[in-house]
Amino acid sequence: MTLLTEVIADTPAGLPGLSWPTYPSAKDTRIAEEAIPAGRAITSVGATIERGVLLPTTAAGITTLGAAGISMLDVAKSEVSADYEESEPLTRIVKGRVWVAVEDAVTDGGAVFVRFASGTLGAFRSDNAAGDAAQMPGAVYRSSTSGAGLAVVEKLY
Q: Residue 107 maps to which CATH number?
A: 2.40.300
* CA dihedral for 38, 43, 49, 52, sign (positive or negative): positive
Query: Across residues 44-69, what is the average pLDDT?
Result: 95
- For residue 144, the 8-state DSSP code is -
Query: Across residues 15-43, what is the average pLDDT?
Result: 92
Task: Please determine, for residue 10, whether its predicted confidence score (pLDDT) is greater than 70.
Answer: no
Residue 62 lies in a domain: yes
Residue 77 lies in a domain: yes
Residue 6 lies in a domain: no
Residue 9 lies in a domain: no
Residue 1 lies in a domain: no
Rounded CA gap, 52 and 76, in Å? 21
Residue 7 lies in a domain: no
pTM above 0.85, yes or no: yes
Rounded CA gap, 64 and 15, in Å? 27
- How many structural domains is the chain composed of? 1
pLDDT in tens, 60-101: 999 999 899 999 998 887 665 568 999 999 999 999 999 999
Domain carrying residue 109: 26-155
3-state secondary structure of 61: helix
Residue 5 lies in a domain: no
Q: Which of 55-59, 72-76, 77-81, 104-108 has the lowest mean pLDDT?
A: 77-81
Residue 16 lies in a domain: no
Identify the pLDDT of residue 7. Answer: 45
